Structure 1
C-alpha cells in the first residue's frame, strides 16, 4: 500500500476553543474516578488496593507519553495547541496542579484508609519502627544473603560521576560522613535496586505469626544501608524514582522496521527524564542535586508521603489467598450453541453468526476456533492480526501448529504497540522460525484492528470464516476487559476481510469494501456521514438518535458534527470511559448530548456505534475510538452486526444497560467535572453486575457492594 493514501478530512475554520475540553486534563480526571474505587469502602479490600496501584500505573504512562510530548513541544517553542486553545506551557501548569491533587489523594488513601483497613484484616506493611526484634533479625539475614550480593552501591566523586538511572527504577540517595580506605571524604552515594530483586518482601509466618506481613524493598535498603558503606556514617537515605520519555520514534524511511525498533528499545530506559518522585523526608539539598543531574526543574518534582513505588502495592493481590477480600470468582460462559464440542464449530458458524461478550463469555471459544482450524485438514489458510498477545498465549502455539500442519499462515504483528514492542519482536521471530509469514503492518499506520480470517475448502468451494473483535487477542485481558467479538461466515464480510489482509501484506492500492468500515480510508468519513444523516432525519421529523460507547473521544470534526446534529434535534448519548473533549449540556450547542463514564470491576473496552437511521437502526462494533489517531493514523475496522437478534443484544447489553447504570456511572458536565450517579428513588443498577448475573450465570449480587 503506498504510504499516506489515507483519506484525511478537509479542515474547516479553526475550532471554537470554548466548545472543547482539554484531552490531557480529561485523561487525568479518569484517574480520579479510578481512585474513587480505591476509596469505596463497599468494595473488597484487596480490590481497592489494586485500584490504587492502577492509578499509579496510569500516572506513570501519562508522564512517559503525554507529559513527555508536551514538555518536548514546550521546550522547542511550538505554538501547537489542541482545539481547546490551551498553550503547552499553560497546560503543563494545569497538569502539575491536578497531579499534585491526585498524588496527595493517593497517599492519603493509602495512609488513612487502605493501610489501616489492611491492619484490621491482619495484613501489615511494616516500617522499620514497627519491626520486632525477631522480624529485624530475619530481615537482616534476608538482606545480607539475598539482597546485598546483588547490589552495586556507587559513591559519587569525580571518578564516579552520577550514573545513568533506568526509567521507573527504585533508587536510594545516601548521605555519607567519614573517609574511605583511600582517604577520600564521603559525601554522596547512590544505591540502585536491580529489577531482579522483589519490590515487596513477605516475612514468613514462623517469624511474624499469623497474618500477612510485608516490607517494601525500599524500607529494607534504607534500614541496612550502612552495611553497604562500611567505615562511613550514614547521615541519611532517601528513596527516589525518575520517569523518562518512553515514546519510541522510528523514522518512516527505514529498511527494516524490526531492526530499527530494536535499536530504539535499547535507549528507551534512558531517554529524557520528565518526572522525579522522592520521599517527603528528603532534604532540599539532595533534591537540588537530583534535579541538576537529571536536568529537570522544580516543577518536575513530586513528593511522596510514603513509598515512592506505591504501584508495587498491587503485587500482594496474588500473594494473599483471602477470597473474602476479593471480588467473587466467576466462570465465563461457553456459548451453548457449540454444545459439548462434539460438533465442529465450522458446521455451526456456517449456519449462524455467534456473538461473544467478554469477560462474561469465555475467550476460550476463540482459542477453540483457532485450534480446530489448525487441525482441520480442510483449512487451507489462516490470517490474523496481533497487537497485544500477552505472555504464554496458546494462540501463538496454535498458529505455529497450523503452519507445521501445512496451512498457509500469515500474521500481521504491530511492532509499535506501546510498551509491548520488545515482546512483539520476540513473538515475530518465533513465528517466522516456524514458517509463519509475518508482516509488520504499514509504516506510519499502526495496525490496531483485531481480526482473524480462516479459509476452508467445503464441497469443492472455498469458504471464509471470520472473527472480529473490539479487543486484543490477549487471554489474560479477556477476563479483565469488556469486549465484543463476532464469529461469522457472512460472504461479504469474509470478502472484505480478505481484501484488508491482502492490502496489509501486499501493500496494494485502495480497496472498496461492502460491509466493513476501514480506517484510515472510510471509517472517519462514514462516521461523519452517519451523524449528518441523523441530523437530516431529525430535521425531517423522523426518528433520530445516536448512542456510542467509546474509550475516548477527541476528534474535532466528529465532535463538531455531533454538536450540529444535537442542534438539529438528534438525541445523543455517549458512554466514554476516559478522556472526552466534547462539552455536553452547553446551551444552544449540546443540550441534547449526555456523556457518562463507567468505572467498575472490569475495564470498559468495547466500542459500539448505534444510529437510529430513521427507524432502521445500524449498529457497528469497532476497534477504533472516535479519536484522531484511530480514524486517520491507524489500520482499524468497524464491523456491522447484521443479524437483528444479535444487534439487539449488543444494544441492550452494551448501550441501554449502561445508560441505566446508577451506581458505577459518572456524569460529565459542560465544565469538565464528573459527578457520580446515584439511584435516587430508582432501584440500584450496575451494568457490569447485571451482565455477570445474566451471561456468566454466576450469582454475584454483592460483587461490587451495590
Structure 2
C-alpha cells in the first residue's frame, strides 16, 4: 500500500496524540504529549501540507488529509477536558471567571487594563486578509462582523490566580468576561485563528538575502482556519471567502483553540507526576582528555543514555588546547544557548583558525541562526557562504598538530536535543575518515560540491544504500533501516524487491513511511525520548555493515541537501549500534506496528523497553 508523505505524517501525529492514553506515563507527561501534538499540527498546516495545498486542493486525497486532521483535533479537545478532571486531585484547576471571587475579578480587571489592553490590536473586517499566523483572535459584532481582537502573544494564555496555588484562569476567558475593556460597545466574543504556509520562497538564499526572505514569509497563503463551535455561521463564511479557503479547510472546534498552552500546566505541576530523572552515563576519561582515548580507538555514544555534554567537552578541549590549530563545524539548529558554539567562539578568540557552515535556512530557526552569525563574525569565526544545497550534515573537525580528530553524529549540536532525542555520536581519529571530513569542509569553503568516497553525501548515499540492499536480496539476507522518514521511491522499490526475494526487511520509521508492504516488518517507536538516529545495517553474509548519519531517506535529503552518511568501522562501535537496533526490534513498550493495509497497533504493556537500555 502506498500512502502520501502527508498522510503518513498525520498517522505519526496520531501516534503522538495517543501517548495521552499511555497507562505507564505520569499524567503531566501524558499532558505534555497533547502540547506536542498541538505544535505538530500547527507545523503540518504551516509547512508539511504545502505540496498538497498547492497541488491537490479539492481532491479526495486532500480532503482525506483534512478529515484525519479534524478527527485528531476533536479527539484532542476531548483529551483536554479529561485532563482537567485528572488534574483536580493534584490541586490543579483551570477556573472560569464565574468561579473567581470579587477581589480576584478586580485584580484581573486591573491586569487586563494595565497589561493586556494596551498590547491588544482591534482590527476592522477589512483587515481579514492580514491576520497573523497562529495568533488567537476574537470576533465580535451586532448582526454583521464588526471587530477582531488579537490577543498579545507575549502574555501567557493561562494566568495563575494569586493566592490559589495550582489554579489558573484562561486569558481568553477573562477577555470575554471583560470585553468592555477591548470593544467600543460590549458584545459576545468568539475565538478564531489562522495558519499560513511558512516556507521560504527562495531556497538558494544567502546570508545577505535572508532577512528579506524572512520578511517575505509573513505573506504566506492561509492554509487553515479554526473557529470555535458556536462561531456565527455567516461570519465564518465571510472570513472563509476573504481568505480564499474551501469549506473543508475550516475547522469548527470546541474552545479553547490552540492547545499548546497546556505546557504551562505541565511546567507548574508536581514533580511526582513527571518522569523520574535518568542521569546519563558519563565517559569521564574522554571528557577529561579526549585525545588519548581517540588515539587508541573510536568512541560511539548513544544519547541521551550517554551524556551529550561529551560532545561539548570535545569542542571545549579543542578550544583550550594550545596544540589545536583549526576547527570546522556544520551547525544547523543551535538554540539560544549553546556551549559548543561558545567553544568555537572561544577558539577563534584564542587565535585558532575557526570556520563554520551555519545553515541559515534551517526551517523556523532562521532568525536564531542570524543571531549566531553575528556573534560568530564578531568573534573572528569565519561564517562560510551558503551553498546552493542546504547543509544538514553533522560534523566537527579538529586539527591538532599533525593529527586530525572528528565528531560526526545523527543529531544537531544542541544540548536540549541531546537530552530529549535519541541520537548517535561517533568520535574518531581514523585518518581514512578525518581526511574525508577535511575535504568535505574544503569543498564547502571553496564553493565546490563535496565528493567524499568512504563517507557518502548527496545522491551517493542513495547509490550506496541501493548497492547494499541489492546484495541482501536473497533468502538469507537481512536489512535493518532506522530513520525518521523513508519516502525515497528508488530505495523503497529496492527494499520491496529484496523482501520479495526472501530477505528480512526490518524498518524502524518514526514518522513517515510511504510504502507499506506485506513482507516488510515495519514499526514506529514513540516514547519518552524522540527517536532521531538514522542508521542502516546489512547482514552482509554474517559480516554486518553498519552506517549512520544525518540523512533521512527522502528525495529532498538525498538530492537537495548535503548530508553525511558514514560507515561505522570500529568493531566495538558496530556491535553497540547493532545492539541498539535489535533492542528496538524487540521493544513492546513504545512500539506501533505498521501494517500493510495502513492500520497501526500499539504495543505498550510488554517487558522490553528499548528506551531503558
Q: Normalization by structure 1: what TM-score?
A: 0.84
User: What is aligned with 1:241?
Assistant: 193
Distance 1:509 1:600 in 2: 38
Q: 1:144 aligns with which of 113, 122, 132?
A: 113
Distance 2:186 2:342 in 1: 56
1:153 deviates by 2.1
Whether the 8 Å contact between 1:24 and 1:66 is mirrored in structure 2 is: yes
Q: 1:198 aligns with which of 151, 156, 159?
A: 156
| Alignment partner of 1:516 is 2:469 | no
Q: 1:501 aligns with which of 431, 441, 454?
A: 441
| Alignment partner of 1:258 is 2:207 | yes
Q: 2:306 aligns with which of 350, 354, 361?
A: 361
> Could you list the per-position Cα deviations for residues 530-586 of structure 1 after superposition, in whole angstroms to 9, with x for gaps in the alignment?
000111xx26xxx4211111101111110110111112211111111111112131x
Distance 1:509 1:60 in 2: 35
| Alignment partner of 1:333 is 2:266 | no
- Once the two structures are superposed, the pairs formed by residues 262-273 of structure 1 within 5 Å of their partners are 262-273=211-222
User: What is aligned with 1:189?
Assistant: 147
| Alignment partner of 1:429 is 2:374 | yes
User: What is aligned with 1:613?
Assistant: 540
| Alignment partner of 1:281 is 2:230 | yes
1:108 deviates by 1.0
User: What is aligned with 1:698?
Assistant: none
| Alignment partner of 1:108 is 2:72 | no
Whether the 8 Å contact between 2:14 and 2:72 is mirrored in structure 1 is: yes
> Could you list the per-position Cα deviations for residues 54-78 of structure 1 after superposition, in whole angstroms to 9, with x for gaps in the alignment?
1111111111112233222236xxx
Residues 224, 611 of structure 1: CA spacing in aligned structure 2 closer, same or farther, 3 A cutoff? same
1:21 deviates by 2.3
SS in 1 for 2:121: coil
| Alignment partner of 1:470 is 2:410 | yes
Q: Which ranges in structure 2 are unaligned for 5 or more consecutive residues?
A: none
Whether the 8 Å contact between 1:250 and 1:261 is mirrored in structure 2 is: no
Whether the 8 Å contact between 1:175 and 1:189 is mirrored in structure 2 is: yes
SS in 1 for 2:59: helix
User: What is aligned with 1:307?
Assistant: 256
Distance 1:101 1:446 in 2: 35
Q: 1:122 aligns with which of 91, 95, 112?
A: 91
1:220 deviates by 1.8
SS in 1 for 2:256: coil
Whether the 8 Å contact between 1:446 and 1:633 is mirrored in structure 2 is: yes
Distance 1:571 1:91 in 2: 32
Q: 1:74 aligns with which of 53, 56, 60?
A: 56
Q: 1:446 aligns with which of 387, 390, 402?
A: 390
Residues 510, 136 of structure 1: CA spacing in aligned structure 2 closer, same or farther, 3 A cutoff? closer
1:359 deviates by 0.8
Q: Which ranges in structure 1 are unaligned for 5 or more consecutive residues?
A: 1-18, 76-87, 178-185, 586-590, 692-706
1:145 deviates by 2.1
Whether the 8 Å contact between 1:169 and 1:193 is mirrored in structure 2 is: yes
User: What is aligned with 1:221?
Assistant: 175
SS in 1 for 2:330: strand
Distance 1:668 1:611 in 2: 21
SS in 2 for 1:350: helix
User: What is aligned with 2:69?
Assistant: 99
Residues 604, 512 of structure 1: CA spacing in aligned structure 2 closer, same or farther, 3 A cutoff? closer
Distance 1:163 1:191 in 2: 14
| Alignment partner of 1:583 is 2:535 | no
User: What is aligned with 2:19?
Assistant: 37
1:29 deviates by 0.6
Distance 1:369 1:190 in 2: 53
User: What is aligned with 1:700?
Assistant: none
1:154 deviates by 3.3
User: What is aligned with 1:47?
Assistant: 29
| Alignment partner of 1:63 is 2:27 | no
Distance 1:503 1:446 in 2: 14
Distance 2:371 2:253 in 1: 37
Number of residue pairs aligned between Structure 1 and Structure 2? 613
> Could you list the per-position Cα deviations for residues 16-39 of structure 1 after superposition, in whole angstroms to 9, with x for gaps in the alignment?
xxx522221110011111111112
User: What is aligned with 2:318?
Assistant: 373
1:362 deviates by 1.0
SS in 2 for 1:419: coil
User: What is aligned with 2:246?
Assistant: 297
> Could you list the per-position Cα deviations for residues 320-344 of structure 1 after superposition, in whole angstroms to 9, with x for gaps in the alignment?
3x111100112122114437x2xx2
Residues 315, 267 of structure 1: CA spacing in aligned structure 2 closer, same or farther, 3 A cutoff? farther
1:187 deviates by 5.7
Whether the 8 Å contact between 1:584 and 1:668 is mirrored in structure 2 is: no
Whether the 8 Å contact between 1:381 and 1:409 is mirrored in structure 2 is: yes
Q: 1:164 aligns with which of 130, 134, 143?
A: 130
SS in 1 for 2:403: strand
1:510 deviates by 5.6
Residues 163, 148 of structure 1: CA spacing in aligned structure 2 closer, same or farther, 3 A cutoff? farther
> Could you list the per-position Cα deviations for residues 639-680 of structure 1 after superposition, in whole angstroms to 9, with x for gaps in the alignment?
122111221111112x1101111121110111111111266x
SS in 2 for 1:384: strand
| Alignment partner of 1:552 is 2:518 | no
Residues 104, 190 of structure 1: CA spacing in aligned structure 2 closer, same or farther, 3 A cutoff? same
SS in 2 for 1:441: coil
Residues 143, 307 of structure 1: CA spacing in aligned structure 2 closer, same or farther, 3 A cutoff? same
Q: 1:324 aligns with which of 249, 265, 272?
A: 272
Residues 168, 678 of structure 1: CA spacing in aligned structure 2 closer, same or farther, 3 A cutoff? closer
Q: Normalization by structure 2: what TM-score?
A: 0.96
Distance 1:147 1:512 in 2: 56
Distance 2:31 2:249 in 1: 26
Residues 512, 323 of structure 1: CA spacing in aligned structure 2 closer, same or farther, 3 A cutoff? closer
Distance 2:452 2:272 in 1: 54
Distance 1:170 1:415 in 2: 29
Distance 2:203 2:47 in 1: 18
1:176 deviates by 4.6
Residues 492, 282 of structure 1: CA spacing in aligned structure 2 closer, same or farther, 3 A cutoff? same
Distance 2:118 2:514 in 1: 52
Structure number with greater Rg is 1
Distance 2:231 2:336 in 1: 39
Whether the 8 Å contact between 1:166 and 1:270 is mirrored in structure 2 is: no
User: What is aligned with 1:675?
Assistant: 601
Distance 2:300 2:449 in 1: 32
Distance 1:568 1:640 in 2: 26
